[in-house]
Amino acid sequence: MSVSKLILKKIKIYKYEAFTSADFLELGSYKSISKALESLEDDKIIARAMRGVYYPYKVNKFFGFVEPPNINAVAEAIARQYNYNFVPSKNYALNIIGISNQVPSTYTFISSGPYKSYKVGMAKIDFKHGTSKEVNGLRYKNLLAIQAIKALGINNINSEVKSRIDNFLDEDDKIELRNNNIKITARIYNVLINIIGNKNNV
C-alpha cells in the first residue's frame, strides 16, 4: 500500500479534522510523508490550513467554495506535533460550550508549550503558556468548564449558564469533578458542585 493510501487510512481511522506530517511518521520517512501530503493536496483530497497543517478537502455543496478548516482541530494538530497539552481559553470556551454565540477572530488557547501565534486564513490562533493545573489533571470538558467560569466571573453564573454547563458535561466528567476538588480552587469547585450536584444528589 502506498504512503498516500496509508495516510488516508489513518485519517479515516482517527477521524482527523486537521493533521501534520508528525501524525504519520510511523508510515515512512519525513520526506516521503511530506511528498505524499503535497501530492494529496495537488489532487484536492486534502487542503492546506497553514504551512505544515492540512485538513480534508471539502467543497460546500450549496455555494461551491472550499470549506475552511476547523480552528480547534488545527490547534489540536499543532499541539500533537509539539507534544503539549492545551485547552481553549476563556471566551473561546464560552463559545464551545454554547454560552456565547460570538465567534472570535482570535482563538486563544492555554497550553503547556510556549507563547506562539499562527495565522489560519482570516483567523488567528494564540497559544499562551499556562500553569500545569490549567491544562492537566482533569478531563477536557472539565477544563473547558473552568475556563468558562473564569471568563464570566463567579458572581455572573446564572441559571442559564448553569444549565449549559450541566448539559455540556458528561457523567464521567461530573464523577471526576466530585472526586477531584483538590485540583480546583475552592471557589470554582463550589460553583461546579452547585451546578452538577454533590454525591448526595446522585
Q: Give the residue ranges of DSSP H helices in 155-196.
A: 159-168, 171-179, 186-196
Do residues 32 and 53 touch, judged by C-beta distance below 8 A?
Answer: no
Q: How many CB atoms lie within 10 A of CB 100?
A: 17
Q: What is the mean pLDDT of residues 182-199?
A: 86
Distance between first and last Cα of the chain: 52
Question: 86 pairs with which residues across the strands?
Answer: 111
pTM: 0.87
Instruction: 34-42: list long-range contacts, CB under 8 Å, 24+ apart.
Output: 35/3, 36/2, 36/3, 36/4, 36/7, 37/7, 39/4, 40/4, 40/7, 40/8
Question: What pLDDT is recorded for position 131?
Answer: 87
d(CA 17, CA 120): 14
Q: Using pLDDT thresholds of 50, 70 and 90, give the confidence band for residue 181.
A: low
pLDDT in tens, 84-135: 999 999 899 999 999 999 888 899 999 999 999 999 999 999 999 998 888 8
Q: What is the CA radius of gyration of the chain?
A: 19
Please state which of the ranges 4-18, 45-59, 60-74, 168-182 shows the lowest mean pLDDT: 168-182
Enter the DSSP assignment of 113.
S
Owner of C-alpha cell 444549565: 163
Residue 180 has pLDDT above 90, yes or no: no
